[in-house]
Structure 1
């Protein structure tokens, strides 16, 4: 069951040839822990360039290229849509209007700005990771990815869907008790921390869940619940925050 759920997670979250079918998709949406397991796979691949002693700028560029070759742009598109909805700041606007903006295929100024800023923030974080040494950098990248996927799983377990669609397909099968195996699956990444690096890895891991809780609170108020776009935005923001949290913790502690 878990392996089939992981297959479904990789088919949904990445461009890897996982060969997910309907049974794998059903197993995935019933197993929030599969998000975290997929995070180990994505994070492991994305961390490989950081483990190679190359110039810092080259290492950071390879990290970003590997990451988005693996995951595609679906989650980035979700970030853009959520940012456009968030940019509708008039308090008199109701949730239906924001949801309409969310579904609009055209990207507005808010979405463009959010994507650009997030990519710049992630690139600067990658430079910071690269300057921390190969082992530290690779482990922070792995922990940040696991943390981002843990955040997505938290939305599945704690959120309610704003409307019928991907959000409801993921949330209708889960409840808060499913968070226990999610957290159990995420914790082992801390054991990979280099000497004196445990605080940095913990910080990188926690970035995703913290972002998820903030996004969940906003989405309940602004949209009436979560959606596929909210999941994508949580992933992109959680990764960027996790990378910087890990780098800052390593530098300060």
Structure 2
């Protein structure tokens, strides 16, 4: 198995619940190849978009509210809830009083606090609201709706990969296993793999599809920058929980920004 194939297989195994198997070689190749994250984001995004496609092609009208329920349920069935755990832990750490050491203690605490509960609720509600907006868009342009879901997923994975490249973990764990194996030099490969997402809609929708895609990717960059700044200031570095939270936040923000940009284009 070549290094690239092993990295992609490892990325699918780590970022989803798809039955590809888990091997030591795959994990090692994946953690040394951050670009594998956005690379598998294309396929995961297409898979995640199935509820939107099914509702749009259904012979009976499916309410957008139904898609709002089905979309998150299907997404987490495909990707698992590991990243949501990062949202919960980061939410608890964000509201706790104390220094970076105290916040890192909260990250490691398995108990769910008020901050984590609110963070989880906001992310899931925002995801459902984004799915509603995407479902409404699908009534006018199914290709455009699927495009936004795919680009948002690629952007979320690119945001996470960016933190892996530029971040340093404050303690041993998943964060150190990923950030310790790569450096800023890997950012070029992440950008190279992510860039085609901006042009995915061009062949079928023309140049008007580029602006919304660029907006989604720009939103992912902003989320990554804010997550990095917060983690460095409040936690002393990028932990595994921060990586998971970044993935979830970048996806949600990307969906909303994409729909707004599509509406304005």
Q: What's the TM-score once normalised by structure 1's chain length?
A: 0.95
> Following TM superposition, where does structure 1 have runs of at least 4 consecutive aligned residues deviating by more than 6 angstroms?
none
Inter-partner Cα distance in structure 1 for 2:46 and 2:158? 15
Aligned to 2:38: 36
Cα distance in 2 between the residues matched to 1:16 and 1:208: 24
- Alpha-carbon distance in 2 for matches of 1:252, 1:14: 33
- CA distance in 2 between counterparts of 1:36 and 1:50 reads 21
State the shift of 1:47 in Å: 1.2
Q: Of 202, 218, 230, which aligns to 2:214? A: 202
Match of 1:73 in 2: 81
Q: Structure 2 CA distance, aligned partners of 1:15 and 1:151?
A: 20
CA contact (8 A) 1:148 1:207 kept: no
Q: Secondary structure at the match of 1:31?
A: coil
| Structure 2 partner of 1:247 | 259
What residue is the counterpart of 2:59 in the other structure? none
Deviation at 1:207, TM superposition (A): 2.2
Q: Whole-Å Cα distance in 2 between the matches of residues 8 and 233 of structure 1?
A: 20
Q: CA deviation at 1:208?
A: 2.1
Structure 1: distance between partners of 2:86 and 2:182: 22
Distance 2:234 2:68 in 1: 35
Structure 1 gaps, min length 5: none
In structure 1, the partner of 2:119 is 114
Do residues 230 (structure 1) and 248 (structure 2) align?
no
- Per-residue deviation, 1:78: 0.7
Which residue pairs with 1:10 in the alignment? 12
Moved more, 174-183 or 59-68: 59-68
| Residue 58 (1) aligns with residue 66 (2) | yes
In the TM superposition, 1:178-193 aligns within 5 A as 178-193=186-201
User: Of 128, 132, 135, which residue of structure 1 is paired with 2:133?
Assistant: 128
* Structure 2 counterpart of 1:166, from 174, 191, 195: 174
Output the CA distance in 1 between the equivalents of 2:40 and 2:83: 15
1:82 aligns with 2:84: no
Gaps of 5+ in 2: 57-61
Q: CA RMSD in A?
A: 1.2
1:144 paired to 2:152: yes
Distance in 2 (alpha carbons) for counterparts of 1:39 and 1:116: 24
Alignment partners' CA distance in 2, 1:192 and 1:44: 12
Contact 1:45 1:66 in 2 (8 A): no
